[in-house]
Homo-oligomer: A and B are copies of this chain.
Amino acid sequence: MYPVLGQQFIAGARSGLGEPRHQSFDAATGEALPWAFHQATLDEVGQAALAAKNAFGVYRQLSPVRRAEFLEAIAEELEALDQDFVAIVCRETALPTARIQGERLRTSNQMRLFAQALRRGDCLGARIDLALPDRQPAPRVDLRQYRIGVGPVAVFGASNFPLAFSTAGGDTASALAAGCPVVVKAHSGHMATAEQVGCAIERAAKRTGMPAGVFNMIFGEGVGADLVRHPAIQAVGFTGSLHGGNALSKIAAERAQPIPVFAEMSSINPVILLPDALAARGTTIAGELAASVVLGAGQFCTNPGLVIGIRGPAFSAFTEQLKEHLAGQAPQTLLNAGGLRSYEKGVNALRACPGVAHLVGAPQEGSKARAQLFKADLALLLEGHPLLQEEVFGPTTVLIEVADDAQLDQALRALRGQLTATLIGEPTDLLNYQWLVPLLEEKVGRILVNGYPTGVEVCDAMVHGGPYPATSDARGTSVGSLAIDRFLRPVCYQNYPDSLLPAALQNANPLGINRLVNGEWSRGSVGQVRD
């Protein structure tokens, strides 16, 4: 446990010019914790952005292996944080110790995954087209391409993953891997956690000789918008609400120089219960699905917020069993008081909505969230009612009953973009409902069979993305090694002397990476020696 200063992180130093007016709170009790955080001044926001810009030139030119060592050092520093640290995270978020320990491991492994991608080197995107001096009708000149970082990235962490989607989360890891320094806007829900993690990153930066300013972090209200407006910032990574993501996207698009935003925002993660599965194992599914709905008090981007089944005795029996499971759930403390208010608002809106039946759940009262189950008329979904399109962040889900396959098709087409969709089916179901797959491919970033969408593996093949409004750009992902692509841009070198080329493109292939040479993949050197 290191002392908490409550100050901005700028270029390897700390700064506290603004008022220390942001208190850290115990999420379970509402008690003030002994730390107040300084509001970053506009000047400090600018300093942080410029520190990142100043670091960019040096940092992006470090070899991929050096950057990998930095990420690995961050992983080690995170793992070295003691039980006092874990206790702070738990107090600020009301998440249980085991969850935080697991999330820490996930966060450090995420750093290592990007280190591995850097060592493999294919994210550099090296391509070489050798000169063809004798080509007719005109010769071809030597052309080589690889990818460099876009520049400083502004990172906005999420409340619900104080480690894995926050200060040292996937956006930071992928930006740093891409060669982009970051300026993190610390989440107001876990500022002491953010500071401890920020210090861990700083220690890793110092011990691996990274330039000051490779990591920066600011605290305060409204500073995120100022950060995105700053000309030094070249891209944005965000996880949070649709409202917040849209607002940042708008600011980014209206800059004198527009910049790309990857915002992971809103998803209700439909689960489709296919008939043979419901008949064969409806009871089991009800238990598993209830567990997924209330896992982490339902505070996951991938929480299953919509469950679709085909009318019939099996779906009716399943509904009864799901009611029982959810009725038996103990109330849970949410991440913060704002989250609870927002959950209550969402639940009350559903309760008040004509066409939505409330099946299970005690009225919201006190400081904990109670599991709720609703059933909505298909018509609401088909007419695009916002209550069936936007996530209610917490332990609740909505059932939709369709009469037949035609209605199932209509229901799925009415959905907006999603992070995930899940098919629960027997082999016979999957064969009969094969037609669902292309439809879902066009709606979501990840399709699961016989699993539950909560629990996002950090690996090369993961996609945590999807069409709008799941994210602001369906071409990206914020989890998995492909996340690095969001922050890279290609640069081409024409007729360059070998010695001036970046190592990734030199004839001898000193990095030993896989390169696309004259249209074929090769790990070798290229024959033509110029200079």
**A137 and B102 within 8 A (CB):** yes
A246 closest partner in B (C-beta): B258
* B residues near A145, Cβ cutoff 8 Å: 460-463, 480, 482
Selected from B61, B448, B449, B491, the residue in CB contact (under 8 A) with A446 is B491
Residues of B within 8 A of A417 (CB): 257
Nearest to A490 among chain B residues (CB) is B463
Given A128-B461, A497-B427, A516-B460, verify A491-B445 contact (CB < 8 Å): yes
State which of A273-281, A394-402, A470-478 sits at the interface with chain B. A470-478
A56 to B443 alpha-carbon distance, docked (Å): 13
What 1/0 mask marks residues of chain A from 449 to 471 whose CB sits below 8 Å from any chain B CB?
Answer: 11100000101111101011100
Give the CA-CA distance A417 to B497 in the complex, in Å.
24
Please state if A475 and B460 are interface contacts (CB–CB under 8 Å): no
Encode A106-131 as 1/0 by CB contact (under 8 A) with B: 00000000001000101001011100
Number of interface residues of A (CB under 8 A): 78
Complex interface: chain B residues within 8 A of A129 (CB): 457, 459-462
For the complex of A and B, the 9 pairs showing the least CB-CB separation, nearest first, are: A463-B492, A446-B492, A143-B461, A448-B494, A145-B461, A127-B461, A253-B253, A129-B461, A129-B459
- As a 0/1 sequence over residues 237 to 277 of chain A, the CB contacts with chain B under 8 angstroms (1 = contact) are 00000000000011001000110100000000000000000
Copies of this chain assembled into the complex: 2
- Check: A503 CB closer than 8 A to any chain B CB: no
The answer to whether A258 and B521 touch across the interface, beta carbons within 8 angstroms, is no
Question: CB of A488 within 8 A of chain B?
Answer: yes
- Cβ of B495 and Cβ of A450 under 8 Å apart? yes
B496 adjacent to A449 (CB under 8 Å): yes
Assembled-state Cα–Cα distance A447/B141 (Å): 13
A430 close to B (CB within 8 Å):
yes
Given contacts A57-B438, A120-B519, A500-B437, contact A491 B447 (CB under 8 A): yes
* Bound form: Cα–Cα A14–B417 in Å: 33
Can you name the residue of chain B whose Cβ is closest to the Cβ of A520? B120
Chain B residues, Cβ within 8 Å of A206: none
Instruction: Report B-chain residues with C-beta under 8 Å of the C-beta of A445.
Output: 489-492
30 A–B contacts, CB within 8 A, in A order: A57-B442, A61-B438, A105-B137, A116-B519, A129-B457, A129-B459, A129-B460, A129-B462, A145-B460, A145-B461, A145-B482, A148-B441, A150-B474, A257-B467, A427-B497, A430-B500, A444-B491, A445-B490, A445-B491, A446-B494, A447-B491, A447-B496, A448-B494, A461-B516, A463-B492, A465-B490, A475-B485, A475-B489, A475-B490, A482-B490
In the complex, are the beta carbons of B148 and A468 less than 8 A apart?
A: no
Instruction: Please tell me if A514 contacts chain B, counting CB pairs below 8 Å.
Output: yes
Q: What does the 1/0 interface line of A415-455 toward B look like (CB < 8 Å)?
A: 01100000000010010001001100110111111110000
Q: Whole-angstrom distance from the CB of A488 to the nearest CB of chain B?
A: 7
Q: In the assembled complex, which residues on chain B have CB atoms less than 8 Å from the CB atom of A480?
A: 145
Instruction: Indicate if A298 sits at the interface (CB-CB under 8 A).
Output: no
Smallest CB–CB gap between A353 and chain B, Å? 22
Complex: how many Å from CA A128 to CA B461?
A: 6
Is A99 in contact with chain B by the CB < 8 A criterion? no
A104 interfacial by beta-carbon distance below 8 Å: no
A140 contacts B by Cβ under 8 Å: yes
Chain B residues contacting A497 (CB-CB under 8 Å) are 427, 430, 449
Q: Give the CA-CA distance A143 to B480 in the complex, in Å.
A: 11
A57, chain B: closest CB distance, angstroms? 6
User: Cβ of A105: which chain B residues have Cβ within 8 Å of it?
Assistant: 137
Residues of chain B contacted by A495 (CB below 8 angstroms): 448-451
Specify which chain B residues have a CB less than 8 angstroms from the CB of A493 in the assembled complex.
Answer: 446-447, 449
Given contacts A445-B492, A494-B451, contact A457 B143 (CB under 8 A): yes
Contact indicator A463/B491 (Cβ below 8 Å): yes
Closest to A252 in B: B253
Q: Complex: how many Å from CA A150 to CA B444?
A: 11
- Hey, which chain B residues are within 8 Å of A127, CB to CB? 460-461, 482
Report the bound CA distance from A140 to B140 in whole Å. Answer: 48
